[in-house]
Structure 1
Amino acid sequence: MELVTKTFEELSTKELYQILQLRSEVFVVEQDCVYQDVDGKDEKALHVLGIKNKKIVAYTRIFKPGDYFKNPSIGRVVVSKEERKYGYGKVIMEASVNQMNKRFPNNSIELSAQTYLIKFYTDLGFKTLGEEYLEDGIPHIRMIRK
């Protein structure tokens, strides 16, 4: 899997379509959650793409401090269902953390994690912060990596 980081303006129309398609496949269809994925924040984000055979199979978006949380943050972490067995979730998260450390050094990194993924994020150095809450009807918890 090739890893590429782009601003919104650098994304091609095809890449943007694939990102939105992947997020919809997983977050809306697979997780059966009707929510507004196109939230107006993609234009502020940096987009970390995991590309395999010319198709985006893993993705995150990252934000500078203050654009989503007080700290720099990672969101919309997603891997296509067919590709999860290869460990691409860990690969795309490590690439995202590396981008954050390069672009926003000496900052904590925050995210809003689906609670069933706490162990996944804990293994990547994140710690839970606060209580569980519902986001779009799905249990989440705030997590931070110092």
Structure 2
Amino acid sequence: MSEWQVKKLEEMTARELFAILYTRSEVFVVEQECVFQEPTIEDLTCLHVFKVDEKQDLVAYARIIDNEEYITFGRVITASKYRGTGEGQKLLTTVIAEINKRYPNRLVKIQAQAYLEKFYGSFGFKSVSDYYLEDDIKHIDMAK
């Protein structure tokens, strides 16, 4: 299995981009039954954090976005065949380390699916909003 990659869009190979967009669509649009634009305009300027396996299939992925006022990350996914293997924790460890390296001492805010509140809490994130629905999925805002 490869190492974690952190790349801008123009640094990615066509195969890497395909694996990311395919898996994001598979998870967010098909599995979670959310109809929304995928990919999004943020993909042009964000940092893509990912790992692929020996077949070049996506293992896990997130993107980091500098919103000027704060840093955020999202589109956090672990491919279905790698769920429960610890790759999600490794992904978040990598994402947070990359944020700390590139954007030291900046506020980090995320929109978390409510069932992952404890997971993000284990990385130091605190809830900063009430629960709300986005795409019919319960979410909460968190910050660190």
Aligned identity (percent) is 42
Question: In structure 1, what is the equivalent of residue 60 of structure 2?
Answer: 58
Greater strand fraction, Structure 1 or Structure 2: 1
Helix, strand or coil: the match of 2:75?
strand
The C-alpha deviation readout for 1:17-65, integer Å capped at 9, x for no partner, is 1101110111111112222122211011000012221222100000124
| 1:108-127 superposed matches below 5 A | 108-127=107-126
Instruction: Give the superposed CA RMSD.
Output: 1.2
Higher mean C-alpha deviation, range 86-95 or range 126-135: 126-135
Q: CA deviation at 1:11?
A: 1.0
Helix, strand or coil: the match of 1:58?
strand
| 1:68-87 superposed matches below 5 A | 70-87=69-86
TM-score, length of structure 1 as denominator length: 0.92
Helix, strand or coil: the match of 2:99?
helix
Higher mean C-alpha deviation, range 111-120 or range 35-44: 35-44
Residue type of the alignment partner of 1:74: F
Question: In structure 1, what is the equivalent of residue 28 of structure 2?
Answer: 27
Structure 1: gaps of 5 or more residues: none
Count of aligned positions: 142
CA distance in 2, matches of 1:93, 1:109: 13
Helix, strand or coil: the match of 1:38?
coil
Moved beyond 6 Å, runs of 4+ = none
Q: CA deviation at 1:129?
A: 0.8
Question: In structure 2, what is the equivalent of residue 140 of structure 1?
Answer: 139
Q: Is the 8 A contact 1:72 1:108 kept in 2?
A: yes
CA distance in 2, matches of 1:44, 1:14: 19
Q: Is the 8 A contact 2:112 2:139 kept in 1?
A: yes
Structure 2: gaps of 5 or more residues: none
Residue type of the alignment partner of 1:20: L
Residue type of the alignment partner of 2:60: A
TM-score, length of structure 2 as denominator length: 0.93
CA distance in 2, matches of 1:50, 1:143: 25
Q: Is the 8 A contact 1:22 1:57 kept in 2?
A: no
Q: CA deviation at 1:112?
A: 0.6
Question: In structure 2, what is the equivalent of residue 17 of structure 1?
Answer: 18
